[in-house]
Amino acid sequence: MIPMDILEALAGEGVDNGELKELKVKLPLRHHIKLHSLKLVRKEPISETVLKALNEYFARMESKENAPDVAPSGPSEVA
């Protein structure tokens, strides 16, 4: 996986200026139905829902990269 800092460097300085770009994607039908259901229930455009989900995803990926490596704690086996 490409580290977030490299992705941000590739994107360039000042790219997040609020400009929106259109992107066409193909989704499994079940995802499309779920997104449409959320649109009806929340009265929010699908693009808003997807934008929120992507922001959460990228924040989670960035926090995983910045988290210290910790060995799993638990009972150790002694032979």
The pLDDT of residue 43 is 96
Per-residue model confidence as pLDDT tens for the chain (79 residues):
667 666 666 666 556 667 888 999 999 999 999 999 999 999 999 999 999 999 999 899 888 888 776 666 666 665 5
pTM of the model: 0.62
| Helix (H/G/I), strand (E/B), else coil: 33 | helix
| Three-state DSSP state, 60 | helix
**How many Å apart are CA 24 and CA 44, to the nearest integer?**
19
CA dist., res. 64 & res. 22, Å (int): 28
For residue 79, the model assigns a pLDDT of 52
pLDDT for 68: 74
In the prediction, which pLDDT does 10 show? Answer: 67
